[in-house]
Each structure stands twice: as C-alpha cells, then as structure tokens.
C-alpha cells in the first residue's frame, strides 16, 4: 500500500508532462476523446485517497517551483539591463540609479529603446562624429537624398539659382559650359579657370588632367573623341573612386580638387564657410567667385587709369 502511494521523480515528471499535453491538445488522448473537466477521485479506499493527495501536492509543488524559476530569471535579466550604460544601449541619455523596474519603465516611457544608436562607447571611433540632431524640424525628411538640390540646415530648399531640371552633379560643372549646349570642351575649361582667377599655368594644366580623366566615360560610343568633350547628360559616369578608376587615382583626384577648392574659397583667416562648401556642390559658388574676380580686375584697371 505504501509503495503504491510513492512515485519516483521520473514517474512524477512523466505524469505532469502528460497532463499538460492533454490540456494543450498535444496528447493522443486529447484527440481521441474530448477533454473533460478534472474531477476529484472517489474516496473508494484509503490508499487511493492517499495516493491522490500525494499526486496533487507534488504537481502543485512542481508548478510553484517553475513559477519561482521564471520570476528569478526575469529579475536577473532586469538587473543585468540596469547595469548596462544607457549610452551603449540607446545612444544617449543619463543612467538612472533607481531600482531596475524604475529604470526599465523610465526607458520605455521616454521611448529611448527605439532611439537610434550613433556610437558605441567601447569603440571610440564610432563616437568621434555625432550626427546632427533636430534636422527634421527645419528640413522635411532630411534623410532623403535630393536629386536637384544641395541643401543644408541654413538652406533647407537649396539655392534658387540652381536649375531644378539638372542634377546636383550637373549643376556643379555647368559653370564651365559657356554656351549651355550640354558639352564642355577643353577651351571651356581653360576659360572657366581663368574666370575663377587662376593663372595661365594652373589653367593650362587643369585642361589635360580633367578632360583626359573625364571625357571618355561620358562618351555615348566606344570610340574615343579626339576633341575630349565632356557630356553633361553622362556626367554621372565620372564619379571617381573605385568604379572605372583605381582607388588610388580616385583619392589623388579628390585630394587635388579639394585643395584647389580650398585655395580658391578661403578667406583672410584661412577658413572656408559652410555656405561656400554647400555652393560647391550645386555650382552656385563659381559664379560668385567669378564676379568677385571680375570686380577686382575692374578696380585694378580703374586704379591704373588714375
């Protein structure tokens, strides 16, 4: 009698699993027969009553143990989240010293769990340049590229002088298209550099460097053109880097262009304003510089005449 009322741990586990499977519809018994509500066993004999009481107490103990383990795991996970620096999780904010429940609830309430991560403190290189904040307040959808506008916080709509029917890259080089026919020839490049105030040597050296590098990618056929024209409707093919040129040559061209741009646009303190850099992209700064160079020439001519 006593042996019948005692169950081994393995037998108990199988009974509990079978009961859960029957309740969840995963046991064959649940398919063959409809699930009936649990009923108390009839008190037929003292042994059956003792065994039923033992089974009920053991099942209840197993459920209580599982609930306790789940609560412990949840609390440990919350404490681990509390110990993490808030900057490494959300990209900003202040680490609160309150209890873990208060910290987690404050993060959820503030919406910080969905905040983009701009850097990871463990990797300092990712923290060097923080992206600007609040751009959406002055620029609608600031992350969307503008095909025909070079925008900034100060000029969210770009420069109205830039033609809206041209891409920003086409706007960048339109200054050298003197007759606005969509083609830049070597003579156009030479005259354009002279208008910007460069001397004869630099203007002459710029012609072969630019046209030997950028003419062929813009051609509409396979045969080279000895006139070395640059077609604006194919100017997107001249984007140097690692596309049709080697990376080294692209880096040299980029450094040279920015160095010349700096020499051209710097002020008396050796600085280049943000607006001038923005104007480089849509080409509006070239006309400004050309007008300044022309004004200086006129003042010198007037001074000589006096």
Contact (CB, 8 A) for 169 and 236: yes
Q: Please give the structure tokens belonging to residue 205.
A: 């050296």
Predicted confidence (pLDDT) at residue 306 exceeds the cutoff of 90: no
DSSP H or E stretch at residue 231: strand 230-231
> Which pLDDT value is given to residue 249?
57
CA distance 111 to 99: 19
Predicted confidence (pLDDT) at residue 225 exceeds the cutoff of 90: yes
> Which pLDDT value is given to residue 119?
84
Angle between helices 284-305 and 247-265 (to 10 degrees): 40
Contact (CB, 8 A) for 53 and 76: no
> Which pLDDT value is given to residue 4?
47
Predicted confidence (pLDDT) at residue 189 exceeds the cutoff of 90: yes
Predicted confidence (pLDDT) at residue 263 exceeds the cutoff of 60: yes
pTM of the model: 0.58
> Which pLDDT value is given to residue 89?
42
DSSP symbol at 72: H
Contact (CB, 8 A) for 91 and 126: no
Phi, psi of 183 (to 5 degrees): -135, 135
At 59-72, the pLDDT tens digits run 566 666 766 766 67
> Which pLDDT value is given to residue 289?
95
Mean pLDDT of 74-100: 49
Mean pLDDT of 112-141: 83
Q: Please give the structure tokens belonging to residue 236.
A: 């997107």
Contact (CB, 8 A) for 7 and 15: yes
Could you give the angle at the alpha carbon of 59 between the alpha carbons of 57 and 63, nearest 5°?
115
Q: Which of 70, 42, 41, 45 is nearest to 55 (CA)?
A: 41
> Which pLDDT value is given to residue 17?
58
Among 90-104, 157-171, 182-196, where is mean pLDDT lowest?
Answer: 90-104
CA distance 183 to 208: 16
Mean pLDDT of 157-170: 94
Count of C-beta atoms within a 10 Å radius of residue 266: 13
Predicted confidence (pLDDT) at residue 43 exceeds the cutoff of 50: no
Mean pLDDT of 163-183: 95
Average pLDDT value for the chain: 75
Could you give the angle at the alpha carbon of 199 between the alpha carbons of 253 and 161, nearest 5°?
70
Confidence band (pLDDT; 50, 70, 90) for 50? Answer: very low
Mean pLDDT of 211-237: 94
Among 8-22, 54-68, 96-110, where is mean pLDDT lowest?
Answer: 96-110
> Which pLDDT value is given to residue 129?
83
CA distance 53 to 8: 15
Contact (CB, 8 A) for 194 and 294: no
Contact (CB, 8 A) for 215 and 221: no
């Amino acid at each position: 009698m006593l042996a019948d009322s005692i169950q081994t741990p393995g037998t108990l586990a199988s009974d509990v699993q079978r009961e859960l499977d029957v309740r969840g519809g995963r046991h064959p018994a649940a398919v063959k027969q409809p699930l009936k509500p649990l009923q108390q066993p009839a008190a037929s004999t003292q042994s059956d009553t003792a065994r039923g009481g033992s089974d009920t107490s053991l099942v209840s103990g197993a459920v209580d143990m599982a609930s306790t383990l789940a609560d412990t795991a949840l609390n440990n996970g919350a404490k681990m989240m509390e110990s993490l620096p808030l900057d490494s999780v959300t990209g900003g904010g202040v680490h609160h010293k309150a209890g873990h429940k208060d910290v987690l609830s404050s993060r959820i309430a503030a919406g910080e769990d969905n905040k983009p991560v701009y850097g990871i403190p463990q990797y300092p290189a990712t923290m060097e340049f923080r992206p600007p904040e609040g751009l959406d307040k002055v620029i609608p959808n600031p992350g969307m590229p503008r095909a025909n506008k070079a925008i900034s916080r100060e000029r969210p709509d770009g420069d109205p002088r830039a033609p809206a029917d041209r891409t920003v890259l086409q706007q960048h080089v339109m200054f050298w298209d003197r007759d606005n026919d969509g083609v830049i020839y070597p003579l156009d490049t030479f005259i354009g550099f002279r208008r910007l105030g460069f001397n004869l040597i630099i203007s002459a050296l710029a012609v072969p460097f630019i046209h030997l590098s950028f003419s062929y990618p813009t051609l509409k056929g396979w045969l080279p053109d000895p006139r070395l024209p640059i077609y604006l409707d194919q100017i997107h093919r001249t984007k140097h880097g690692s596309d049709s040129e080697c990376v080294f040559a692209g880096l040299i061209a980029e450094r040279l262009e920015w160095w010349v741009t700096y020499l051209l646009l710097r002020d008396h303190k050796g600085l280049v304003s943000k607006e001038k850099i923005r104007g480089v992209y849509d080409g509006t700064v070239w006309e400004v510089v050309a007008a300044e160079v022309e004004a200086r020439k006129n003042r010198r001519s007037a001074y000589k005449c006096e």
